[in-house]
Amino acid sequence: MKTKYFLFVGSVVLLLLAFTACAQAERDNPPQSDEPAGPFATAVRQATERFSDVEAAKAAGYGMFMGCVNGPQEGAMGVHFANGDLVGDGALDPTLPEALIYESEGGKLRLVGVEYVVIAEAWHANSEMPPVLMGQLFHYVGSPNRYGLPAFYELHVWAWKSNPNGTFADWNPQVSCEGYTS
C-alpha cells in the first residue's frame, strides 16, 4: 500500500514540475504577434485587412481627419481616416468602422486600429440606451469637444497593434505621433 501511495505522490510531483516548466517557458517566450486577441479584434482585422493600404481606404471614402491625435495621457490615438457618410448614418456595423487609425512609421502609414463613431442625437433617435457593439459599451463624448463634433459615442478597437491599456482603450502608449508629418 505504501508503494502505491509513493508512486501516486511521485507522479503528482512530476506532473506539477512539468506544468511549471511549461508555464515558465511560455512566460520566457511570449507569442510574437503584435495583434490583440479576442473575437472583436479578429472580426475587425478580417473586415479591415484591405485598408492596410491607405489608398484603398481613400478609394472607399475615408479621408484624413485632424492629422495625428496626441492625448493628455501617455501615447496617442494616431492618424484618423474617417468616412463621413458612416459617421452621420446613425448606425453601427462591426464590418464598417467609421474611422480607420494609422500610425506613421518611416514615412508610411500603418493600420493599427479602428474607431466606431455615432452622433449621439442620431443614435438616440432610435434607442434610449447607449450603443453597445459585440458586447462593448461605447464612450460618450459631450459637446463642445476638441474635435468640433456634436456630442457622440465612440469605441476604439486596437485590432492591428497591441495596447497595454486594453484593446478598447482610447489612448495607446505604443502609438506615437513623432513620425507623423502632414
Instruction: Say how far apart CA 151 and CA 57 lie, in whole Å.
Output: 25
Mean pLDDT estimate for the chain:
83
Per-residue pLDDT tens digits for 83-106: 999 998 999 999 999 999 999 988
CA-nearest of 39, 163, 179 to 108 is 179
Mean pLDDT of 70-79: 85
CA–CA distance, 75 with 55 (Å, rounded to integer): 26
- Evaluate whether 90 touches 118 at the Cβ level (below 8 Å): yes
Amino acid at 171: W
* Residue 16: pLDDT over 50: no
Secondary structure string (H, E, C) spanning 75-110: CEEEEEEECHHHHCCCCCCCCCCCEEEEEEECCEEE
Which pLDDT score is estimated for 35?
62
Between 112 and 6, the higher pLDDT residue: 112
- Can you give the pLDDT at residue 147? 87
pLDDT at 9 over 60: no
Tell me, rounded to whole angstroms, the distance of Cα 78 from its chain centroid: 12
Residue 12 has pLDDT above 60, yes or no: no
Q: pLDDT value at position 38?
A: 87
Q: What are φ and ψ of residue 117, in 5° steps?
A: -135, 135
As given in the structure block, the three cell numbers for residue 67 are 492629422
Rounded to a whole number, what is the distance in angstroms from the first to the last CA of the chain?
A: 79
* Every domain of the chain and the residues it spans: 1-30, 39-157
Rounded CA separation 71/176 (Å): 10
User: Is the full-model pTM beyond 0.75?
Assistant: yes
How many residues in total does the chain contain? Answer: 182
For 129-165, the pLDDT digits (tens) are 999 999 999 999 999 998 899 999 999 999 999 999 9
Compute the distance between CA of residue 160 and CA of residue 65 in angstroms, rounded to an integer.
20
Of the candidates 15, 115, 36, the residue with the CA atom closest to the CA atom of residue 69: 115
Q: Does 8 have pLDDT greater than 60?
A: no
Tell me: pLDDT of 6 over 60. no
Q: In the predicted model, what is the mean pLDDT of residues 11-33?
A: 36
Average pLDDT over residues 42-60: 97
The verdict on whether omega for the bond into residue 144 sits within 30 degrees of 0, i.e. cis, is yes
Helix (DSSP H) and strand (DSSP E) numbers for the chain:
5, 8
pLDDT of residue 180: 85
Q: What is the pLDDT of residue 178?
A: 87
